[in-house]
Amino acid sequence: MAGLRPAAVLVPVIERPDGPRVILTQRTDELRHHPGQISLPGGRAEATDTDAVATALRETREEIGVCATQVEVIGFLDDYPTTTGFRVTPVVGCLPENCRYQADGREVAEIFEVPLARLLDAGNYDRRWFDRDGLRLPYYALTHEHRFIWGVTAGILHHMAQRLSPVT
């Protein structure tokens, strides 16, 4: 993964009465890169970020208004290389049940939650293919309600499902 630009996302898990959920965002349609797509809060590292945690927490505050003091970082998933030249470090963090969030409106059009149990069931993911620059590349996808989650976001979540699935 040498030569890839560093980036980080937060996999924000929030406790709810019906079980834990993961917070996802839908990007605004006005963005130049990945408009309208479903994503985890995050983005490219800036020079002032000390590490991947700092990047993920800064981007989370900017995009959904959750302060770093509200996030208990509990671990990391493997770095995820993207076809657009980034090495994304997924940071897993727990948020308190009373945590409030709000879409910034510039980058994030909507915020929604998906039950963690749904995301941890690897059977909910489809493997699909797309062609880019003469290559046939795989990606994962899943749906939740009316939303289509795919690409890097689904890949990271699928990896989490694989890591956390019980060994049979």
> Structure pTM?
0.92
- Cβ atoms of 42 and 88 closer than 8 Å: yes
104-120 average pLDDT score: 93
Alpha carbon distance 14, 94 (integer Å)? 6
What b-and-e string marks burial along 38-73, b requiring 16 or more CB atoms within 10 Å of the CB? bbbbbbebeeebeebbbbbbbbbbbbbbbeeebbee
Token couple for 83 = 């076809």
DSSP characters over 62-81: HHH---GGG-EEEEE---EE
* Residue 61, phi then psi, degrees to nearest 5: -65, -45
In terms of Cα–Cα distance, which of 156, 89, 87 is closest to 119? 156
Give 1-59 pLDDT, tens digit per residue. Answer: 678 999 999 999 999 999 999 999 998 867 676 666 899 999 999 999 999 999 999 99
- pLDDT reported for residue 168: 46
Residues across the chain: 168
CA dihedral sign, ordered 34, 137, 43, 26:
positive
- pLDDT reported for residue 3: 87
Q: Are β-strands 135-144 and 42-44 bridged in parallel, bridged antiparallel, or unpaired?
A: unpaired
List of domains in the chain: 5-164 (3.90.79.10)
The residue written with tokens 């990271």 in the block is 156
